[in-house]
Structure 1
């Protein structure tokens, strides 16, 4: 436990404590350059900011599309791989993992190529939709959440398929053989045997993907740049926190924004943990 405890302190407890301390400070302004204890003023500034609700609405619009597709895709592909042993299954595991091996920037460059109607291999589809520039593709109404959901799915699905497949590989062959002797077919095995056993693995995948979704920053930030700044600069909560820190130089508000995100993700995470039995004890 000692190495983990050190990492938890360095990467978790200490930064959170520093964020709490910073959020309770008073941000200097041109009219009042003094600093000191500011109480919950930074949280009030964040919550009452005109961009606050919009950023959460935007990120929820992505999560509503992406997270169900992500989880269904992860579990479905993992079950298919587990039912396909041998060279074919190994080959498919490798192919699924390739997109996840790409760095975030490389993945974005690939998607910029796909979204550019003048170069995209699916340019016929873009032209059929009346879209001739990447700016139009990105800023079209209700299209950005779908684009971000697709980017996040293809980048992360392969890695999580490997994780869930690891949980499936841990199922005792005796359990599966007993189910087959009781007359279970492939569908029965997947739905009534495998899924209940790997529920903690699925819960872990949902928890980590949910946390990643709330921290979305790189993709909308760079898509805004390739679209000639046609998107709002603060489209997600993390972008708003970045703006507080480096545009408004209001570091207490940026710290408060990070703590608000922490509380939200922890709250949802606790629900997932208790509902999935992620850290529960196995019954023998």
Structure 2
């Protein structure tokens, strides 16, 4: 917006000078030293992660790619033969179908449940909201085997405190509950229970970053609690929702522990190759075909990265703030 500078005769239009039009300030020895120290500090902060990424990520991926191109006897170059044998395996598509069905049940449950709980906590008073966050976060401490053992106890009608529920469905034994057709629902419940509390805390941080002025302006415009949540809060935490979806998708494609141990405790009722990771494990340690196991790992990585890039692009996870 133009301003005017008065003279003795008449006002003269005045165009403000922008900072970008000004010449750069002279670089002093002190400012140069500050810049160098800042760069060194940034390098030191990034270095540990870079080393971990190289050792735990890039090197194993490179090794898997090289191994997958060997022949079955691992004595020479086999081209894409390992990939062809993996894709030709009838269990290949079935394992991805099992994971896809689990994700279709689990991800909407996670998104709707976590967003609803986070909004309720954010709308609560400070003291009550903090107590709710603590209670929701407690199951997150039962990760991995501890969470699985808890759920194994819950789904066994002979020991479960909710045995009346299983009896109402006509289930009397663990094998009746843990049928292959029920496994996606059981896994979805396990994963939701394990991760919901952590994501409530993460989304709570995103909700707390929304400026109070923005929320107050929405209320002055006549928006009620539902309107503020739907039209202001949810759009503002869209990157956090993308982050939630991205990490849970990656975790879902990597499922191994829960179906593997459940297959053992049900004495093979659940197929030991129920997920892609289990199938890769079977190639490596049962039929001792390392190139096939490596090829399966590379295929799984490519699919996970492709889906992850789609989620990042759709959610605007790494977009610049506007």
Q: Which residue of 2 aligns with 1:104?
A: 144
For structure 2, the 5+ residue unaligned runs are: 1-45
Q: Which residue of 1 aligns with 2:50?
A: 5
Within 5 Å, give how 1:209-224 maps onto structure 2: 209-224=248-263
Q: Which residue of 2 aligns with 1:27?
A: 72
Q: Post-superposition shift, 1:161? A: 1.2
Q: Moved runs in structure 1, 4+ residues, more than 4 A?
A: none
Q: Which residue of 1 aligns with 2:199?
A: 160
Q: Post-superposition shift, 1:2? A: 2.9
Partners of 1:228 and 1:112 lie apart in 2 by: 14
Within 5 Å, give how 1:225-244 maps onto structure 2: 225-244=264-283
Q: Post-superposition shift, 1:260? A: 0.7
Q: Post-superposition shift, 1:14? A: 1.3
Alignment equivalent of 1:256, drawn from 274, 295, 298? 295
Q: Which residue of 2 aligns with 1:55?
A: 95
Q: Post-superposition shift, 1:128? A: 2.2
Partners of 2:102 and 2:262 lie apart in 1 by: 15
Higher Cα Rg, which structure: 2
Q: Which residue of 2 aligns with 1:198?
A: 237
Q: Which residue of 2 aligns with 1:43?
A: 83
Aligned length: 277
For structure 1, the 5+ residue unaligned runs are: 29-33
Partners of 2:296 and 2:125 lie apart in 1 by: 47
Q: Which residue of 1 aligns with 2:316?
A: 277
Partners of 2:101 and 2:316 lie apart in 1 by: 27
Task: Give me the TM-score of the superposition, normalised by structure 2.
Answer: 0.84
Q: Which residue of 2 aligns with 1:31?
A: none
Q: Find the residue that maps to 1:121 and give its secondary structure.
A: coil
Measured against aligned partners, the alpha-carbon deviations of 1:70-103 in whole angstroms (never above 9, x if no partner) come to: 1111111111111113111111100111111113
Alignment equivalent of 2:62, drawn from 17, 42, 45? 17
Q: Which has the higher contact order (CA 8 A, sep 6+)?
A: 1
Query: Please, what is the CA RMSD of the aligned residues?
Result: 1.2
Partners of 1:193 and 1:279 lie apart in 2 by: 20
Measured against aligned partners, the alpha-carbon deviations of 1:171-203 in whole angstroms (never above 9, x if no partner) come to: 111111111111111111111111111100100
